[in-house]
Amino acid sequence: MERDDDILIKLSDVSAGYEGVTILSDVNITVRSSSFIALVGPNGGGKTTLVRLMLGQIDAMSGELFRRKNLRIGYLPQINDIDMEFPITVEDVIFSGVPCLFRHTEEERRRADELIRFAGLEELRSRQIGRLSGGQRQRAFLCRALMNNPQLLMLDEPSTYMDRDASTGLYALLDKLKNEMAIVLVSHDIDSTSHRARTIYRVERNVRLVANHYIIK
Amino acid sequence: MYEFMRNALLGSFMISVVAGIIGTIIVCRRKVFVAGGITHASFGGIGIAYYLGLNPIVGAFIFAVATALGIDVLERKGTIRGDSAIAMLWSLGMAIGLIFMFLTPSYASNLMGFMFGDILSISTIDLWCIAVVATLSLLLSVLFYRPLLYVSFSPSFARVVGLRVGLIETIISIVTAIGIVVAIKAVGIVLVLSIFTIPQAIVGKWKRQMGWMMLWSGVIAFVGALLGLAASYYLDWPAGAVITAVLALLKLLLP
């Protein structure tokens, strides 16, 4: 039986868009603490809009959007949103996953160390972010997304521009995380995600369930 | 030592501090064109202040800050393309300045000083202004280095994380505007961008942290300023132009 106390985000008949142009309509989707959801679909179909709705970057035009109070979301944005020439080290990119006014706390430093080990980036922590390979870079941004110890991890096209080995490395890390937090993964490519996600939705103006491998233990 | 030379040296040093810090923020955030707009628009304030008989630096401050905030607002509203908004305020400020300069008797002699700078005529009041701005930018960038770095690197992600990006960006814009204005006295409107961008281009290749880029850009800006001052003193060449040429030459010579 499905319980309600593990719901992190729930969209009921939600429509969304920009400047009056509707991109998504009648969206119904629920993210639970055990979810591993893949969002697939064509470019322009509204995947990123759905992500921005869930993140709270945009508001719904109609419908109801529930988000659990104080929900901690870890977010891995699309790679082309990032300035690779910026003078910042891998370590500082990871630290930027938590807000900071003056200095990072001892606990945050320990968390960063732990994540750097988890992602196998020990040797690269002082490198400028642009001097990493595609796979190493995504692992660094995954660490940044994990800094706030999220209950929900959202990844927007994480394997773009990555070769096969690199994306396998990233997905291996996700396999370790999937039992600790909910994951929402955006991907244009259904093959590499389909056997990992428990639930697959196709996003094209509305959201349609494609497959559900949800196993109730 | 002559007092004017001592003032010029002190002024150059403090302007280099400002240029190192604020120039790095401008370059890292890819806001060089915005900085160009702020610089040129401040001429409007200089013109009006001259006409009214006020200290021109006050007019420049007001116009620079208003332009910086105006560009932010226009970009956010999205009714005009960002670069077009900058171009409009850039030339509008210049136009206002020119009209008021023209209405003021004996404008021509002052015009050159503001266009191309005159570091040897820097006054004690100017020095105090520069000192305040240099201290302010140093304090802010050291104390609040972390939020500054994160917002500059990725404002959209910083917003997701919960930083007050709008507020931080507004503070950056204001400090940038007043930093540019105090440097105008030394190198002039036309050349000021050189000390805010060429040192960063020189050190950018081998600096992987924004803080180090700030420090070493400041050092390089000061080297350029010293050579410019020397040329200006011994050869009677215009200091601002020599500073710009020296910096560009350094960029070409260094790997």
Q: State the nearest Cα–Cα gap between A130 and chain B, in angstroms.
A: 9
Closest CA in chain B for residue A88: B209
Return the pLDDT at A191.
Answer: 63
A166: enclosing H helix or E strand:
helix A164-177
Return the pLDDT at B171.
Answer: 92
For chain A, say whether B146 makes contact (Cβ under 8 Å): yes
Helix (H, G, I), strand (E, B) or coil at B209: coil
Q: Are strands A36-40 and A199-204 parallel, antiparallel or unpaired?
A: parallel
Cα-based torsion angle of the residue sequence B129, B130, B133, B135 in order, rounded to the nearest 10 degrees: -110
DSSP B114-150: HHH--GGG--HHHHHHHHHHHHHHHHHHHHTHHHHHH
* Cα A180 to the center of its chain, rounded Å: 14
Structure token digits, residue A184: 């929402």
Beta carbons of B208 and A127 less than 8 Å apart: yes
Nearest to B28 among A87, A102, A144 (CB): A87
Q: Yes or no: say if B143 and A100 are a contact pair by the CB < 8 Å rule.
A: no
Structure token digits, residue B194: 């050189």
* Band of residue A199 on the pLDDT scale cut at 50, 70, 90: confident
User: Is the pLDDT reported for residue B107 higher than 70?
Assistant: no
Beta carbons of B146 and A87 less than 8 Å apart: no
Per-residue pLDDT, averaged over B238-247, amounts to 85
Indicate the average pLDDT of chain B. 87
- Chain B contact set for A96 (CB, 8 A): 149-150, 153-154, 157-158, 161
Percent of chain B past pLDDT 90, that is, above it, reads 41
For chain A, say whether B160 makes contact (Cβ under 8 Å): yes
Q: State the nearest Cα–Cα gap between B234 and chain A, in angstroms.
A: 38
User: Is the pLDDT reported for residue B8 higher than 70?
Assistant: yes
User: Is the pLDDT reported for residue B253 higher than 50?
Assistant: yes
Beta carbons of B157 and A96 less than 8 Å apart: yes
The tally of CA atoms less than 13 A away on the side-chain side of residue A119 is 28
Return the pLDDT at A213.
Answer: 65
Q: List the one residue out of B213, B223, B219 whose CA is nearest residue B29.
A: B213
C-alpha R_g of chain A: 17
Beta carbons of A75 and B160 less than 8 Å apart: yes
Q: State the nearest Cα–Cα gap between A83 and chain B, in angstroms.
A: 7
Q: What ipTM is given for this predicted complex?
A: 0.83
pLDDT digits (tens, 9 = 90+) for A60-107: 888 888 888 888 888 988 877 788 889 999 999 999 988 888 888 888
Lowest average pLDDT, out of A135-139, A162-166, B162-166, goes to A162-166
